[in-house]
Structure 1
Amino acid sequence: MKFSFKPTPGFVRDMTDGHSVLGLAVSTLLYIVCISGTLAVFYNEFERWEQASELENLNVEASVYQTATENAIALATEEKEELKSISFTIPNQDMPRLVVEVGEMERYVSEDGSLLGKVEHEWTHFLAYLHFALNLPVSLGVVLVGLIGVVMSALIVSGLLAHPKIIKDAFSFRLSGSKRLQQVDLHNRLGVWASPFHLAIAITGAFIGLSQVAAFAIAGVFFEGDSEKVEHMLYRDHLVMEENAPEVAYPDYAAILATMDRIAPEEERTRIEVAFPGREGQVVEVWTRVPERLVWGERYHFNSDGSLIEKEGWSEGDTAKQVYLSTFRLHFGHFSGFPVKIAYFLLGVGMCLLVVSGINIWLVRKRQRGNPVVRLERVWTAQVWGIPFAIALSAVTYLLFKLNAAQVFWSVTLLLSVVAAFTGTVAKWSMYLRVATIVACVGAVAVHVAQFGEDSFVRASLVANSVWLVIAVGIAVSCFYSWVRQKSSEPVSLNTSPAGSN
């Protein structure tokens, strides 16, 4: 039996119309999620960039944890922090700094176990929360971003179905054609060639965002609404400590790490957490990253004398658990080293181009049909270039004045959108905001160099500053291309994207 599918003109038209309506409905939020996600690929590098001068050392003796525990508990008691747990970030390839955390207190730790300055990653946390929750309350924002992931998946599928000549036109790119043809070719080529990546990002984003909703649904159907039972399908039960439990010695970190050397020598350790430190019945968890596996890690539970209680089994669980625990690293590109991060960044830029060119096609089509939406064109242009400008400006103002990055970003984005609705032209908004974004990106690097000196040109800081400069160069190239087109007397009506051409 031979199966063939030849879309009718009516089917293609319906898919195209549905594709446009979906894209317009979520264009701005989708664009914000794409830009912030592209930058968040370098989340670890930006964290280290914010405090570039802190000590980095991958080799920490077990005795340091013992001394740091005593110092951190003493300081936390003085500051009246809750003492339910103490955790350490074990220096690793992503974060080669020893950090101790008790309650809300988070400090760097020196090589002798003494406590150093406070950990401050507020700008990077803003960027991460912008991506996965749009800076809304997490319970609402994560679900909203998950729904955007669903819509993005639908956009990708409907876009592919709306292109009946997908194979024939795979290499078509009409640089000398009209503005609309250039936008269509840009949109279609990016949409086709990068569709596996786009689908993977959209589906995993939707899965992560809506997993909490699914957990509540599963709890309601199978566990009489008890969501903790759903959580325990993935995680070991939380330790419950009796009040006024007798005091005991802190855990034997040397024995615990020696056991880890014996049972999992190939796994990179990333975190140690002690539940109810210094109390009878305390339990120690060691988190690791499993080589050549996508799951976010593995977790081991120990008694305080170093004897193993159990292995969580994240890297060896059933298929459903493996899939769930692999979505996070797959979504953010945190696997197989730095080259994958670069690939994710470039593909993320392509996704931004895809979103912007899709809306541009619709706007150009409206103009060509004699029904231009000039105000919407101005607002969209202000958002296309204003959003990356606002992100870069928030970095500058945070480094200089410790201003709240979320407030700076949303205030600037909203202000530009409102002003663009009433004044200016598309060409001026496009050019002025591109120049402003270049200045802000270069400004972020300049301010960082002024604050951290030679530490701005090594390790993670070199990567983060290079990202800002690459963005600035990409936008400068788009400005040059626009200038060339203007010199050739071809009117420029719309933008393409922060990393593309006009």
Structure 2
Amino acid sequence: MKKRVKRVFSIHHWLGLLAGLFLLISSVTGSVLVFHHDIDHAQFAGLSTLAVPATELKIDSSIARILKAYPGSDVRVPELPKGQDQALKYEIRSTEGRKWVFVHPTTGETLATVARADKRLVHTLLDLHYNLLSGTPGKIGVLLGGLSLIVLSITGLLLYRKSIWKVLAFRQRVSFKSRRSFFSSLHRVIGVWSLAFNLFISITGTWIAFTIVQSALSPVSVSTVEGNAPTMVSVDSVLKQISKDYPEFEINYLRFAGGTLSALGRLKSDPSYYGVTFSNLQVDLSSGQVKGVNFVKDKPWHERLLLVFKPLHFGDYAGLPVKLIYCFFGTMPGVLAVSGFLVWRLRNRKPQERIVRRRLPLTPGDALKPISN
């Protein structure tokens, strides 16, 4: 092997061993998190489903009470009810954690609460995926892991570049001659087929991890709106006015902070990969006037590209077929980590096993024969 190839192989080899556990964790959690909305809905269907359908959505019937009950908290509506049988859900964020409050969309009556929504399955998987359950050090570790996957994808491309077309044409397949040849060929075949996806998911994920680390190292204080603000306008009236003035805008998410209502959503003409919450309108809660309009389509191309990295990374911007593709290929970094480790393990054990086999007697009678060198 040439020196350059040896150097590339050495980088791929040792970096893969060092980052292997991270790749396995991020691969498994990422594949599951493609269905994070579906998991949440299934887990809390009993709390979010109404026995009697609601007649209409009246946020005014509950918002003042919620703001008063949780002063100083970051109050959000993570999704508006999609059907008449679905409750209105508030998410209360504070230094103590997150709480969900389900209320009747029309009457505002509290139906159920989830005291520690930050301990639910999806949020735990998100924490594991984003920070390895280790806070800021874990976030930095995830960033380094994302960079590792980029380097591994590039070095893998350089090492297997002559095999790419053979693998894609099914002229090189998985070998079953031995355990080592099986895992080695499996590593090569999966690496080739998942190369483009691995590069795509690692680049988008690394950018997201960078923004998370940046926020963790330079936290911005979030101002909140108090529940006893006497000049707060009708939220329902504001939403109706938005629908009238911006008929193309679909509201999917509400946030109350600093005397401002942030209505997050998307334009009906937006491509699906723009996501459902990356365009927004900012409304002054004391006057009801729109003071900021931020649509993804109006941003420069480079800002637009960075904004869509998150929906593109998670794969939840489209229907079930796209989610299944993301879920399947999302497991590939984990499979590559395991197969690469086993190739290394079998290669390092083979010389020792050969010596042991040479010394072991083949039959009971052979044990009585003198050993000659």
TM-score, structure 2 as length reference? 0.79
- Give the whole-Å Cα distance in 1 for the aligned partners of 2:315 and 2:227: 43
- Give the whole-Å Cα distance in 2 for the aligned partners of 1:342 and 1:161: 29
Task: Pick the aligned partner of 1:55 from 48, 61, 69.
Answer: 48
Q: Which residue of 2 aligns with 1:67?
A: 61
- Give the whole-Å Cα distance in 2 for the aligned partners of 1:353 and 1:123: 23
Contact 2:261 2:284 in 1 (8 A): yes
Q: Which residue of 1 aligns with 2:238?
A: 256
Contact 2:88 2:104 in 1 (8 A): yes
Contact 1:55 1:110 in 2 (8 A): no
For 1:298, the aligned partner's letter is S
Taking the TM superposition and a 5 Å limit, the aligned residue runs for 1:51-450 are 51-56=44-49, 61-62=56-57, 64-74=58-68, 76=69, 81-83=70-72, 86-91=75-80, 97-104=87-94, 105-111=99-105, 112-119=107-114, 120=117, 122-137=120-135, 139-170=136-167, 171=170, 172-212=172-212, 247-275=229-257, 282-290=259-267, 291-296=270-275, 297-304=278-285, 305-370=287-352
RMSD: 3.2
- Alpha-carbon distance, 1:371 to partner: 7.1
- Give the whole-Å Cα distance in 2 for the aligned partners of 1:164 and 1:89: 45
Distance verdict in 2 for CA 1:102–1:123, change over 3 Å: closer
Bigger relative CO (Cα 8 Å, ≥ 6 apart): 2
Spell out, residue by residue over 1:2-42, the C-alpha distance to the aligned partner (whole angstroms, 9 max, x if none): xxxxxx63332322222111011121122111111111111
Contact 1:293 1:315 in 2 (8 A): no
Contact 1:153 1:199 in 2 (8 A): yes
Contact 2:34 2:327 in 1 (8 A): yes
- Alpha-carbon distance, 1:97 to partner: 4.9
Spell out, residue by residue over 1:92-117, the C-alpha distance to the aligned partner (whole angstroms, 9 max, x if none): 669x6521234544301123221121
- Give the whole-Å Cα distance in 2 for the aligned partners of 1:28 and 1:363: 15
For 2:65, the aligned partner's letter is N
Contact 2:76 2:92 in 1 (8 A): yes
- Give the whole-Å Cα distance in 2 for the aligned partners of 1:17 and 1:107: 53
Contact 1:204 1:328 in 2 (8 A): yes
For 1:148, the aligned partner's letter is G
Structure 1 unmatched runs, 5+ = 1-7, 218-226, 232-236, 277-281, 373-502
- Give the whole-Å Cα distance in 2 for the aligned partners of 1:216 and 1:45: 29
For 2:323, the aligned partner's letter is K
- Give the whole-Å Cα distance in 1 for the aligned partners of 2:34 and 2:159: 31
Task: Pick the aligned partner of 1:37 from 30, 38, 47.
Answer: 30
- Give the whole-Å Cα distance in 2 for the aligned partners of 1:124 and 1:246: 33
Q: Which residue of 1 aligns with 2:367?
A: none
Identity %: 23
- Give the whole-Å Cα distance in 1 for the aligned partners of 2:74 and 2:245: 25
Contact 2:251 2:266 in 1 (8 A): yes
- Alpha-carbon distance, 1:153 to partner: 0.8
- Give the whole-Å Cα distance in 2 for the aligned partners of 1:108 and 1:22: 47
Spell out, residue by residue over 1:242-285, the C-alpha distance to the aligned partner (whole angstroms, 9 max, x if none): xx999425432232222222344344322222335xxxxx3221
Structure 2 unmatched runs, 5+ = 355-373
Q: Which residue of 1 aligns with 2:369?
A: none
Spell out, residue by residue over 1:154-191, the C-alpha distance to the aligned partner (whole angstroms, 9 max, x if none): 11111111124223531211443222222122111111
For 1:118, the aligned partner's letter is T
Distance verdict in 2 for CA 1:65–1:245, change over 3 Å: closer
Contact 1:271 1:287 in 2 (8 A): yes
SS in 2 for 1:191: helix
Answer with 1 or 2: which has the greater Rg. 2
Number of equivalences: 334
For 2:282, the aligned partner's letter is H
Contact 2:139 2:213 in 1 (8 A): no
Contact 2:146 2:202 in 1 (8 A): yes
SS in 1 for 2:306: helix
TM-score, structure 1 as length reference? 0.60
- Give the whole-Å Cα distance in 2 for the aligned partners of 1:82 and 1:88: 16
Between Structure 1 and Structure 2, the one with more strand by share is 2
For 2:284, the aligned partner's letter is N
- Give the whole-Å Cα distance in 1 for the aligned partners of 2:28 and 2:129: 8
Task: Pick the aligned partner of 1:24 from 17, 20, 24.
Answer: 17
Contact 1:259 1:306 in 2 (8 A): no
